[in-house]
Amino acid sequence: MIKVGIVGATGYAGAELVRILQGHPEAEIVWYGSKSYAGEAFASIYRNFFQVVESPCKSDDLKEMAKQVDVIFTATPQGYLSSIISEEILEEAKVIDLSADFRLKDVSVYEKWYGIEHKAKELIGEAVYGLDEVNREQVKKARLIANPGCYTTCSILTAYPLVKEGLIDPTTLIIDAKSGTSGAGRGAKVPNLFCEVNESIKPYGVTTHRHTPEIEEQLGYACGQEFAISFTPHLVPMNRGILATEYASLKEVKMPDGSVRKPDLAYIRSVYEKYYGKEYFVRVLPEGVMPETRWVEGSNFLDIGLAVDERCGRVIMVGAIDNLVKGAAGQAVQNMNLLFGLPENTGLTMVPLFP
Amino acid sequence: MIKVGIVGATGYAGAELVRILQGHPEAEIVWYGSKSYAGEAFASIYRNFFQVVESPCKSDDLKEMAKQVDVIFTATPQGYLSSIISEEILEEAKVIDLSADFRLKDVSVYEKWYGIEHKAKELIGEAVYGLDEVNREQVKKARLIANPGCYTTCSILTAYPLVKEGLIDPTTLIIDAKSGTSGAGRGAKVPNLFCEVNESIKPYGVTTHRHTPEIEEQLGYACGQEFAISFTPHLVPMNRGILATEYASLKEVKMPDGSVRKPDLAYIRSVYEKYYGKEYFVRVLPEGVMPETRWVEGSNFLDIGLAVDERCGRVIMVGAIDNLVKGAAGQAVQNMNLLFGLPENTGLTMVPLFP
Amino acid sequence: MIKVGIVGATGYAGAELVRILQGHPEAEIVWYGSKSYAGEAFASIYRNFFQVVESPCKSDDLKEMAKQVDVIFTATPQGYLSSIISEEILEEAKVIDLSADFRLKDVSVYEKWYGIEHKAKELIGEAVYGLDEVNREQVKKARLIANPGCYTTCSILTAYPLVKEGLIDPTTLIIDAKSGTSGAGRGAKVPNLFCEVNESIKPYGVTTHRHTPEIEEQLGYACGQEFAISFTPHLVPMNRGILATEYASLKEVKMPDGSVRKPDLAYIRSVYEKYYGKEYFVRVLPEGVMPETRWVEGSNFLDIGLAVDERCGRVIMVGAIDNLVKGAAGQAVQNMNLLFGLPENTGLTMVPLFP
Amino acid sequence: MIKVGIVGATGYAGAELVRILQGHPEAEIVWYGSKSYAGEAFASIYRNFFQVVESPCKSDDLKEMAKQVDVIFTATPQGYLSSIISEEILEEAKVIDLSADFRLKDVSVYEKWYGIEHKAKELIGEAVYGLDEVNREQVKKARLIANPGCYTTCSILTAYPLVKEGLIDPTTLIIDAKSGTSGAGRGAKVPNLFCEVNESIKPYGVTTHRHTPEIEEQLGYACGQEFAISFTPHLVPMNRGILATEYASLKEVKMPDGSVRKPDLAYIRSVYEKYYGKEYFVRVLPEGVMPETRWVEGSNFLDIGLAVDERCGRVIMVGAIDNLVKGAAGQAVQNMNLLFGLPENTGLTMVPLFP
């Protein structure tokens, strides 16, 4: 059994880790870390775990935790892990970080968008961006995993094949994303009250959301080119789910039949099939079907739908995930599975809950 | 592997059976019956099963199905099973009926409340009411299980210990119940449209709801007395969940210390502990904690909270279940497990999904 | 024009007062009091008022406000008004208090249920309980109005005719109430976050909710008898609305035809017609129709539905209001209209918003 | 008093017309037309109108209606009005059509996108597109008004100033729109059931939604150029509201200071101020503030927010309306006011309802 410690177990992502790991046959949580609730029963904070989890929350002592566990998940605010991580800890345990601390390779970009100094620059190079469908082999050998953000996971994977294959002009990429409210976390803030969120939709962080450079960096690696995108997140009155609607201009390319033209839907679909046909968690929907967040809720699936807007020469790519699963805790467990040589979907085969 | 056939697999309860059985290590669905969608891929109706269930829906041929399976679940409208069930079918396969056809022992009560003639009266006596926490031993030996209604499961089990022990006056029992909208089924009706349900709560079936006699009959067996209750269901703008708030006057009884008085909360809690302390699916919450449907969503748990209103001499019993799980498909699988000699919670240990 | 000052204008009830008074032809708000947001534009807190209300919020200086206005609405926490109210203020302006400070005549009951000392006991006697359908004439002559609570308004008026006429046994009265989330106010608390409230229903304050003694006191006046009720509120995932489902045993009484028996539905309906037939805001629904909160949203209406559960000898009375309107701001304006000799429904004829 | 007839009064848009006209001081509904509910009390279909509207629904006899009223609103499916409208009717009454029948000037575009033959081509030329902020003067003189679609109203007005002034390249315009569920109408269809819509977001009609050519035509008039846009609507789990997030590349233009460059936010805001500064219903929000649908719910306002994504050279324009008010019934009444020489906001000054 893999011994697991969680820092920040009482946030939404942390609690989702607990839920998923409860059903994992090869892992066992031995440390429920929670700064706010240390000493209280975990199941008194999340009563869904009543008579399921008997353990109390403990303090967030990362050093001590590292000695007792094989892997640490940090579901913590930005800046926490980088301020406390050390070679000593990494020698004791693998670390999978759900925060943004090690996602960006360019530390100046991190410091600009997050507005804080990075305290562990020396580890940025080593950290592996844990997007398994892209970086699977590197992940297997890593000690420190930067678990991708929720919006970024959905946004990157939805566009990845066309960016990688050079079929779209990346400078035309526009991502209009919509998220359920659990993405905002469990902090007690007026804008997240039921009456403020319910019966409304709003954009936020327009042109300034911190997942923007993360998407740009990773897609930049894919096409070998730096570029800027427009990324606009919106808050939707639902608990879970992210939907990313992505627009990009198709490039004229040499097609398999030798002609030079903008690729049609059939060809685009064949490219997605090539990239994702064997991926367990990525489901490219049948032609004409678009993703809906309800069909992935509670699961680690990413659903993708595709359309070509011929009148405009654009492709419209739509992706849907559960932000707490494929966008956070599920992907983190997927990373753990790779780190420990388990089949990638161990403990992650739960069917989406509907309705 | 237990071979399973489902009649009505494309209703909400049927689809929930599919979801649960996907995670069941000892069962395999071999027949997805659906009158409306025969010939279509099951996963094209419920896209959460895309790339999970490959099978098409088939017609509802119960006779043929019985030959191919070990157990049949019927998630069908009232009157269907009783019109088609036969000794021949029961000799081929066990039947677990999620409709009301075999729940009431008094056929005149059935015909009065449901307004239809019962076509298989000869089997009513044999059918076992599949409320396992009460009827476990009979269930194990049955061929035909009447799976209890959603409201009734929650209402009966929440009050059962006090009724059985004679601590409350059953003629004072009032059940004010609240249900999520999945209980109304997937039929296309104006009152169930999003805009009609959202941002509102309403009572319905006041004094006439069909689960009333089912509760009365079962609780009547418990106390050996016939009585009538007031039962009022309400529709709540949420997908899943039933909450039953139950009120009854406490009787003056001889207490363990010899005194004659109304039982206090501590004594009442000890009675629940006696009945449910070892039940996996019934969770009697800590003193002072009341159930919330979110803490059972997606699971087979029933959560119970208790309070004594001393100023009025009443006990207030509150129960919460997921109507599609413990109130339908989960309880049906629990029954299947008993029928086939499996541990009762096989495939039913999923943790509630929150948020 | 009546000059109006509001203390607590940036809470939900305060902002609803602003909305209603915007459409009131005879009133003008001259002081938007807000401790938290003094100095900020009211419309920057509630952007629905952008370009509608230009005024900034001011501090909560009740003395100074009293000099500048004709009537003060206090939408404040318990204990605030009683700690600051004075004869001097009441000589300058009428006061309509939306808090509980002057609702209970028995100060010991107030201090017991609210857990705070009452600082203006000398004014309790003078204060008039502003439930206009019952106390209309006293309201007209008052200086200090105790605006009833949201649950209490709905609960009392729904049962009032039968209590007053002695047709039910008040000791059997059970009120199972359900409220939208705006009733919990705009404070930033985890239990009121979207993800905590959405997709769930829960009871709270079981046997201890502070509106209990308020209902008991007022209904006690109606029947000339002290009694205790069971009152259980529930939180519903919707913004607005209260539904009260009330149960009571019918008494055997002398009927108009001379017989002694439990009244039937027709007679009960005739009693409601007698009490409410001419009330603008109370709508007794047609026989067989039950209230739904959506049909009163945004309006000052109270809808009432009635059923007799003959098998149990009980009447079931159901009432629905918008908690922020008839349960708070609308009723407060109704009181203002009476205080200033205006037609009672001035500015209050808005049709409920649906969907 | 203007005498009003409504065809399709029992759909959501029709009922919203009734709600708005109830508060209109110069109009009186004399004919509640409803094919489905003729003979039934209007208030038995929409119980919010109980004791407010006493009239029954009548059949949809447009000819007879025209004789009795001054203005007819048709809230009907596409193809209805064009199949029945006649010179005779237009001589008797003004007609404001909430369907799409007379919105598109190019009949071939209509027939292609709607898939039906247009039966009154001779009137297309006369019909005025009732977007008052653009076409105010033509509306005043019209007999037949084509009331704009909900998505189109929001989409066009949000982008109009920049298109008209030539500050953006219209061929880069992408509109990602989100709508509440009332936009889907009151038809009993499975995809609109509560459980299907709740807790999910989905795109629909990708590249094929019928509001696309309407937007293109009107914005084409603005810039004197034909172009195609990408328009993607999404369904959001809320009753009311449309949010349109619009992206376009800024053009290099000659700025007031003589320089040639892409306009900055300050200049863009000054353009919106020029166009909308005096418009009652269009509210350009303060810099840095983005629209949220909750702030316009129940009102005829359109809120607009603006941002420049300098890294990409794009402007992001966001608009929010209540789809049933500014997107349907409210705009229709605004048109009626213009037709009859009333101040444009007569009966339309209601403040948005929040929460």
For chain A, say whether C192 makes contact (Cβ under 8 Å): yes
For chain A, say whether D238 makes contact (Cβ under 8 Å): yes
Neighbours of B54 (CB within 10 A): 10
pLDDT at B111 > cutoff 90? yes
Note whether C158 and C244 are within 8 A (CB).
yes
Q: How far is A213 from chain D (nearest CA, A)?
A: 11
Task: Assign D60 a pLDDT band (cuts: 50, 70, 90).
Answer: confident
Tokens found for residue A225: 């080119």
Q: Give ipTM to 2 decimals.
A: 0.97
What pLDDT score was predicted for residue B47? 98
Task: Calculate mean pLDDT across residues B279-307.
Answer: 98
CA distance C152 to A272: 60
pLDDT, tens digit, 9 for 90 and up, residues B155-191:
999 999 999 999 999 999 999 999 999 999 999 999 9
Look at phi and psi of residue C215 and say left if phi exceeds 0, alpha if psi is from -120 to 50, else beta: alpha
CA distance D320 to A203: 11
Note whether C236 and C177 are within 8 A (CB).
no
Q: Do the Cβ atoms of C52 and D296 come within 8 Å?
A: no
Integer-rounded Cα Rg, in Å, for chain B is 20
Q: Scanning every residue of chain D, which has its alpha carbon at the shortest distance from the alpha carbon of B181?
A: D195
Whether the ω angle into residue D237 lies within 30 degrees of 0, i.e. cis, is no
Neighbours of D308 (CB within 10 A): 21
Q: Scanning every residue of chain D, which has its alpha carbon at the shortest distance from the alpha carbon of A203?
A: D290
Q: How far is D171 from chain A (nearest CA, A)?
A: 8
3-state helix, strand, coil in chain C (%, to 5): 35, 20, 40
From the number of C-beta atoms within 10 Å of its C-beta (0-12, 13-18, 19+), residue A188 rates as middle
Nearest to B147 by CA among B6, B3, B294: B6
Residue type, D190: V
Note whether B188 and B337 are within 8 A (CB).
no
Task: Calculate mean pLDDT across residues A163-186.
Answer: 98
Three-state DSSP class for B84?
helix
| Residues of chain B found within 8 Å of residue D199, distances taken between Cβ atoms | 239
From the number of C-beta atoms within 10 Å of its C-beta (0-12, 13-18, 19+), residue B333 rates as buried
Task: Calculate mean pLDDT across residues D126-140.
Answer: 98
Q: What is the pTM of this model?
A: 0.98
Q: How far is D198 from chain B (nearest CA, A)?
A: 7
Is residue B150 annotated as a catalytic residue, yes or no? yes
Look at phi and psi of residue A166 and say left if phi exceeds 0, alpha if psi is from -120 to 50, else beta: left
Strands D174-179 and D242-249: antiparallel
Whole-angstrom CA distances from C219 to A10, B312, C229 are: 45, 16, 10
Residues 145-174 of D with CB under 8 A from A: 171, 174
Partner-chain residue, chosen from A182, A285, A352, that has the shortest CB–CB distance to B48: A352
Neighbours of B341 (CB within 10 A): 8
For chain B, say whether D238 makes contact (Cβ under 8 Å): yes
Whole-angstrom CA distances from C248 to C152, C153, C169, C291, C309 are: 17, 18, 7, 18, 10
CA distance D256 to C50: 30
Whether the ω angle into residue C233 lies within 30 degrees of 0, i.e. cis, is no
pLDDT, tens digit, 9 for 90 and up, residues A251-293:
999 999 999 999 999 999 999 999 999 999 999 999 999 999 9
Neighboring chains of A (3 or more beta-carbon pairs < 8 A): B, C, D
Q: What is the DSSP letter of B55?
A: P
For chain B, say whether D192 makes contact (Cβ under 8 Å): yes
| Residues of chain C found within 8 Å of residue D349, distances taken between Cβ atoms | 23
Length of chain B: 355
For chain C, say whether A15 makes contact (Cβ under 8 Å): no
What pLDDT score was predicted for residue C60? 86
For chain D, say whether A192 makes contact (Cβ under 8 Å): no
CA distance B354 to B338: 29
Task: Calculate mean pLDDT across residues B57-65.
Answer: 94
What is the three-state SS of chain D?
CEEEEEECCCCHHHHHHHHHHHCCCCEEEEEEECCCCCCCEHHHHCHHHCCCCCCECECCCHHHHHHHCCEEEECCCCCHHHHHCCHHHHHHCEEEECCCCCCCCCHHHHHHHHCCCCCCHHHCCCCEECCHHHHHHHHHCCCEEECCCHHHHHHHHHHHHHHHCCCECHHHCEEEEEECHHHHCCCCCHHHEHHHHCCCCEECCCCCCCHHHHHHHHHHHHHCCCCCCEEEEEECCCCCCEEEEEEEEECCEECCCCCEECCCHHHHHHHHHHHHCCCCCEEECCCCCCCCHHHCCCCCCEEEEEEEECCCCEEEEEEEECCCHHHHHHHHHHHHHHHCCCCCCCCCCCCCCCC
Phi then psi for D86, rounded to 5 degrees? Answer: -150, 160
Give the angle subtended at the CA of B336 by the CAs of B330 and B342, to the nearest 5°.
105
pLDDT, tens digit, 9 for 90 and up, residues A56-107:
999 989 999 999 999 999 999 999 999 999 999 999 999 999 999 999 999 9
Q: What is the DSSP letter of A6?
A: E
Q: What is the mean pLDDT of chain A?
A: 97
Q: At what angle do helices B107-114 and B211-223 cross, to 10 degrees?
A: 150
pLDDT, tens digit, 9 for 90 and up, residues D11-26:
999 999 999 999 999 9
Q: Do the Cβ atoms of B237 and D188 come within 8 Å?
A: no
Residues 317-346 of D with CB under 8 A from A: 318
DSSP characters over A69-103: -SEEEE---TTHHHHH--HHHHHH-EEEE-SSTTT
Note whether B258 and B203 are within 8 A (CB).
no
Strands C314-321 and C242-249: antiparallel
pLDDT, tens digit, 9 for 90 and up, residues B220-231:
999 999 999 999
Tokens found for residue A193: 């009250």
Q: Do the Cβ atoms of C285 and D47 come within 8 Å?
A: yes
CA distance D35 to D54: 18
pLDDT at B39 > cutoff 90? yes
pLDDT at C125 > cutoff 90? yes
Query: In chain C, what percentage of residues exceed pLDDT 90?
Result: 99
CA distance C183 to B189: 31
Task: Assign B60 a pLDDT band (cuts: 50, 70, 90).
Answer: confident
Nearest to B97 by CA among B124, B116, B115, B122: B124
Tokens found for residue D67: 């004789």
Look at phi and psi of residue C224 and say left if phi exceeds 0, alpha if psi is from -120 to 50, else beta: left
Note whether C182 and C12 are within 8 A (CB).
yes
Q: What is the DSSP letter of C128?
A: E
Task: Calculate mean pLDDT across residues B101-130.
Answer: 97
Note whether A320 and A242 are within 8 A (CB).
yes
Whether the ω angle into residue A355 lies within 30 degrees of 0, i.e. cis, is yes
Tokens found for residue B325: 């799980």
Whole-angstrom CA distances from B59 to A37, B5, B22, D126, D230 are: 54, 11, 21, 55, 42
Residues 85-124 of A with CB under 8 A from B: none
For chain D, say whether B190 makes contact (Cβ under 8 Å): yes
Task: Calculate mean pLDDT across residues D331-337.
Answer: 98
B317, β-bridge pairs: B246, B306
Neighbours of B122 (CB within 10 A): 10
pLDDT, tens digit, 9 for 90 and up, residues D135-188:
999 999 999 999 999 999 999 999 999 999 999 999 999 999 999 999 999 999
Whole-angstrom CA distances from C146 to B291, C143, C153, C302 are: 34, 10, 12, 19
Q: Do the Cβ atoms of A238 and D201 come within 8 Å?
A: yes
pLDDT at A26 > cutoff 90? yes
Tokens found for residue A89: 């800890």
Task: Calculate mean pLDDT across residues B125-147.
Answer: 98
Phi then psi for A243, rounded to 5 degrees? Answer: -120, 125
pLDDT, tens digit, 9 for 90 and up, residues C211-262:
999 999 999 999 999 999 999 999 999 999 999 999 999 999 999 999 999 9
CA distance D293 to D243: 7
Three-state DSSP class for B179?
strand
Strands C71-74 and C314-321: unpaired
pLDDT, tens digit, 9 for 90 and up, residues D279-329:
999 999 999 999 999 999 999 999 999 999 999 999 999 999 999 999 999
Q: What is the mean pLDDT of chain C?
A: 97
What pLDDT score was predicted for residue C99? 97
From the number of C-beta atoms within 10 Å of its C-beta (0-12, 13-18, 19+), residue D185 rates as middle
For chain A, say whether B179 makes contact (Cβ under 8 Å): no
Q: Scanning every residue of chain C, which has its alpha carbon at the shortest distance from the alpha carbon of A237?
A: C194
Tokens found for residue C10: 């940036």
pLDDT, tens digit, 9 for 90 and up, residues C166-189:
999 999 999 999 999 999 999 999
Note whether B218 and B133 are within 8 A (CB).
no
CA distance C354 to C33: 31
Catalogue the active-site residues of C.
Answer: 150
Q: Where are the alpha helices (DSSP H) in B105-252?
A: 107-114, 132-140, 150-164, 194-197, 211-223
Task: Assign B326 a pLDDT band (cuts: 50, 70, 90).
Answer: very high
Neighbours of A165 (CB within 10 A): 18
